[in-house]
Amino acid sequence: MTSVDRSRVAVVVALAVIVGATCALLSATGFDVGRAVTALVGGAGGSWFAFGSGTLVRATPLIMTGLAVAIAFRAGVFNIGADGQFLLGASVAAATGLALRGAPAFFVLPAALLAGLAAGAAWAGIAAMLRARFHVLEVISTILLNFVAASLVSYVVRGPLQEPTHIYPQTESIPIAAQLPRFGSATRLHLGFVLAVGSCVLAWWIVRYTAGGFRLRVAGANPHAASVAARIDVTRVTTTAFLVSGAAAGLAGAIEVCGVTYALYENISPGYGYTAIAVALLARNNALGVIFTGVAFGALEAGATAMQRDAGVPSVLVAVVEAALILALVAIERIRLIGATPESA
């Protein structure tokens, strides 16, 4: 084994040790590990209800934000602002649904979803413009915009959109016409899951079979060659990908409001935009793969929620598992965003 191979193995072992040690600590401080695992598995797939109403409902925003991140990564854009774009999409979708109270469903529902989609794209557009015009690193700008978005939601649910009694920091429920239909009365699974899967298939087809998709792949794989050899306007391609990425994340927020919460409140996203990075990387930024990794992380998070409820184990533990997975992946596969291009000088 070369030294790099050895250090990779060492790292994977070290990550396993971190996760294992955390679990050991949990059991040492009095948590019932057996009960926690039972709750985790049962909450994720113990029954058709758990799988449909827990895992798949939780997977829907993860698939959509995972798709958002995957599209951006494919184009060499490091959009870690999916969380902020999600929040903007959720806010604008809720506002649209509330404003169009009384209008028929065939108009309100698409209007709310499209408004959320546009809001996500616009929010990403700020970072895209900063990148294209001023060369501001999008890693920094998108994260800063996440914090601004969180403040914005906090203001909206305490100010202009607060429910009429002015007691709770959340909006009124959106009208039934703006709600995504569910698959029967016995499940919480809603049409949004189908929209998410459909978006992934569409994105996969576009990236795989269209000229625009080809430009996206080339610009992401080697921007220098793309501009010199293929005469591709790389800035234009990456900006478009950034906007589409924001649109997907915004739609994710709109779907969450119209399909699950029916209202806007502060912690509507438990960090979907960050989990999305793991979802996208695990799927190797392939839009079809995102469906499966999204469901896998949906199961993990639905299980973790049950684990916190039934065994008192903090669900933030999932972040440790996700981070360890990302690190193990970069150690094994050497995924690259920067450094993939040959020196131009």
Write out the residues near another protein by the rule CB under 8 A. 3-4, 7-8, 11, 18, 22, 25-26, 29, 31, 78, 80, 126, 130, 133-137, 139-141, 143-148, 151-152, 154-155, 158-159, 274, 277, 281, 314, 316-324, 326-327, 330-331, 334-339
Closest CB 149 distance from another protein, rounded Å = 9
As a three-state string, the secondary structure of 98-146 is: HHCCCCCHHHHHHHHHHHHHHHHHHHHHHHHHHHHHHCCCHHHHHHHHH
CA dist., res. 264 & res. 257, Å (int): 7
Closest CB 4 distance from another protein, rounded Å = 7
**Between 246 and 259, whose beta carbon lies closer to another protein?**
246
CA dist., res. 153 & res. 148, Å (int): 9
Those residues whose C-beta lies under 8 Å from the C-beta of residue 316, and which sit 6 or more positions away, are none
CA dist., res. 203 & res. 106, Å (int): 25
**Between 259 and 294, whose beta carbon lies closer to another protein?**
294
**Between 22 and 210, whose beta carbon lies closer to another protein?**
22
Token pair 């649109």 in the structure block, residue: 247
Phi and psi angles of residue 315, each rounded to the nearest 5 degrees, phi first? -75, -10
**Between 288 and 317, whose beta carbon lies closer to another protein?**
317
Closest CB 273 distance from another protein, rounded Å = 11
CA dist., res. 125 & res. 135, Å (int): 14
**Between 25 and 194, whose beta carbon lies closer to another protein?**
25
Give me 152's structure tokens.
């914005």
**Between 52 and 303, whose beta carbon lies closer to another protein?**
303
Closest CB 268 distance from another protein, rounded Å = 16
Closest CB 306 distance from another protein, rounded Å = 17
Polymer length of the chain: 345
| 8 A C-beta contact, residue 277 and residue 70 | no
| 8 A C-beta contact, residue 190 and residue 260 | yes
DSSP label of 335:
-
| 8 A C-beta contact, residue 169 and residue 158 | yes
Closest CB 278 distance from another protein, rounded Å = 8
Token pair 């449909």 in the structure block, residue: 52
Closest CB 330 distance from another protein, rounded Å = 4
